[in-house]
Structure 1
Amino acid sequence: MDVFVLEGWIYLAVFFLLLVIKIFAFANSLLYSAESYVAADRRNKTTWCAVLGVALLLQLAQLVLPLPLFFSIINFGMTIAALVYLADVRPALAGLRRR
């Protein structure tokens, strides 16, 4: 197997993994009420939904358009935002429901 073919498959796998993460984070952010975000002492629901929605749109745009490096760097930041949501905000919101 050629090294470049293997690199392409790895890139494709990472791309779709990040797409699934961003879809899950965005969909999950829509499930909680705006009051839950305030009660969990996190940014408001509008902010998180906007950030995660832009993250998802940028990931989908990479599927269709050849974006320049600038958008790849922004997409990397948006990936970090989605991971922060899943690691910090989501558990705080879920903890409110258990009480």
Structure 2
Amino acid sequence: MGIVGSLQWIVYLLFLLAIFVLCVWALVDLLRRPANAFPAAGKRTKNFWLAILGVATLLSFIAMPPLQLLPFLGILSAVAAIVYLVDVRPAVAPYTRRRPGPGRSSGGW
């Protein structure tokens, strides 16, 4: 394997790693949202998205080396995570309660 092959392998690995991180981010965000926000926003239920993103995260992990059983499923995993992050997440965001963090006041100046 020459230098070009090594660079291709590194880019491929980084691509699959980015897909895995994207799936984990979507799954963690989903777990933080209340279940009643999904039907209120006109989206599928939280359990539906939990199943989709759980399988997508698992498949994106399996697609990474050294397992690399079904590498094309990493792309499908990315599609599932992107659909959640671009469509569902903004729709359910208004229904999520925000906790005041340190330094935030509850009102006034």
Name the TM-score class by shorter chain: 0.7 to 0.9
Local SS of the residue matching 1:12:
helix
Structure 1 CA distance for aligned equivalents of residues 23 and 68 of structure 2 = 20
Structure 2 CA distance for aligned equivalents of residues 82 and 42 of structure 1 = 15
- Report the counterpart of residue 13 of structure 1 in structure 2: 14
Contact 2:41 2:91 in 1 (8 A): yes
**CA shift for structure 1 position 82:** 0.7
TM-score by length of 2: 0.78
1:65 pairs, out of 67, 73, 84, with 67
User: Any gaps of 5 or more consecutive residues in structure 2?
Assistant: 98-109
1:49-85 superposed Cα distances (whole Å, 9 cap, x missing partner): 1000000011111234231xxx444442232111010
TM-score by length of 1: 0.85
State the identity as a percent.
36
Structure 2 CA distance for aligned equivalents of residues 17 and 86 of structure 1 = 14
The one-letter code sitting in structure 2 at the alignment partner of 1:31 is: R
- Report the counterpart of residue 87 of structure 1 in structure 2: 86
User: Any gaps of 5 or more consecutive residues in structure 1?
Assistant: none
Structure 1 CA distance for aligned equivalents of residues 74 and 5 of structure 2 = 23
Structure 2 CA distance for aligned equivalents of residues 26 and 13 of structure 1 = 20
Larger Cα-atom Rg: 2
**CA shift for structure 1 position 39:** 0.5
Contact 2:63 2:74 in 1 (8 A): no
Q: Which has the higher helix share?
A: 1
Structure 2 CA distance for aligned equivalents of residues 97 and 45 of structure 1 = 13
The one-letter code sitting in structure 2 at the alignment partner of 1:65 is: L
